[in-house]
Amino acid sequence: MKKILPLLLILSALVFTASAQTTTSAVTPTEQKLIDSLCDKLNKLDLSNVKTKQQATELFMTAFASHADQMMEIAAERGVDPSDQQAMNKLGQSIGINMMKQKCPGFIRISTIMAGQQLNQETGLKTTAGTFKRIDVKGFNYIVISTASGEQSFLWLRQFPGSEKFMTGAAAKFTGKKIIITSEEVEAYVPAAKGYYKVKEIKGIEVL
């Protein structure tokens, strides 16, 4: 079992960028029980101080390990040999994708960190999860979210994937909803402050 868990863990990180066209088997009651219980545990995790892939990986490993018996039940139900790593990979990927499709908030948040660490190192992009609060207008528009560490604002400077959802007053319907913002720290001239400051420019938003 120790050899299986790391493989499933890697797959769970990759699920965040999985194609929407990826096919999976129908969710059985046994698998749904695992998804529900694991999602509940992940939703309760405090990720406010989790900044690195390693930290996220350790938290996920702990959460998943407590449900290893359920994973083995699913493998038996589908006739998968636990010693067949390739088959277990596919099974783990199927479960991860189904958790993503069911929009488990905790799984999405921790997968974002696990999958986003390499992205941060290569491009300087950062992902932040929080609750949408409002849009502030200070020369430019700033989208404000509430996180465990307090309110954070992100500069809406250019068009980004998902920006159309927040245009022409439509943003109000997202108040109180969980969102993930991908941003990049840049130095920009802020008219309201009449100077150059480092701001977090929005590169993409996903509504959970």
Q: Where residue 165 sits, what CATH number does that domain have? A: 2.40.50
Report pLDDT for 27. 84
Domain boundary among 120, 152, 186: 120
The CB density around residue 140, as the number of other CB atoms within 10 Å, is: 16
Report pLDDT for 15. 46
Q: Report the distance separating Cα 171 and Cα 3, nearest Å.
A: 46
| Same structural domain, 158 and 64 | no
Q: Report the distance separating Cα 6 and Cα 4, nearest Å.
A: 6
| Same structural domain, 134 and 102 | no
**CA 75-79-81 angle, 5° bins:** 65
CB 183 within 8 A of CB 128: yes
Report pLDDT for 1. 46
| Same structural domain, 153 and 132 | yes
Helix (H) or strand (E) holding 7: helix 4-15
| Same structural domain, 42 and 107 | yes
| Same structural domain, 130 and 115 | no
| Same structural domain, 39 and 131 | no
Domain boundary among 60, 88, 120: 120
Task: Provide the 3-class DSSP secondary structure of residue 85.
Answer: helix
Report pLDDT for 154. 95
| Same structural domain, 13 and 114 | yes
Report pLDDT for 44. 85
Report pLDDT for 128. 86
Domain boundary among 120, 136, 159: 120
Give pLDDT < 70 ranges for the chain.
1-25, 115-124
CB 208 within 8 A of CB 179: yes
Q: Report the distance separating Cα 166 and Cα 169, nearest Å.
A: 7
Return the structure tokens found at 99.
């958790």
Which of 119, 208, 107, 125 shows the shortest CA–CA distance to 162? 208
CB 146 within 8 A of CB 131: yes
Please report, for residues 156, 160, 201, the alpha-carbon distance to residue 107 in angstroms, rounded to integers and kept in the order given.
27, 24, 25
Phi, psi angle pair for 48, to nearest 5°: -60, -30
CB 180 within 8 A of CB 108: yes
Bridge partners of residue 78, in order along the sequence? none
Q: Report how many domains make up the chain.
A: 2
| Same structural domain, 37 and 81 | yes
Q: Which residue has the tokens 């993930």?
A: 180
Helix (H) or strand (E) holding 49: none
| Same structural domain, 113 and 44 | yes
Report pLDDT for 16. 42
| Same structural domain, 55 and 70 | yes
Report pLDDT for 120. 53
| Same structural domain, 108 and 10 | yes
Give residue 86's domain range.
4-120
| Same structural domain, 80 and 131 | no
**The pTM is what?**
0.49
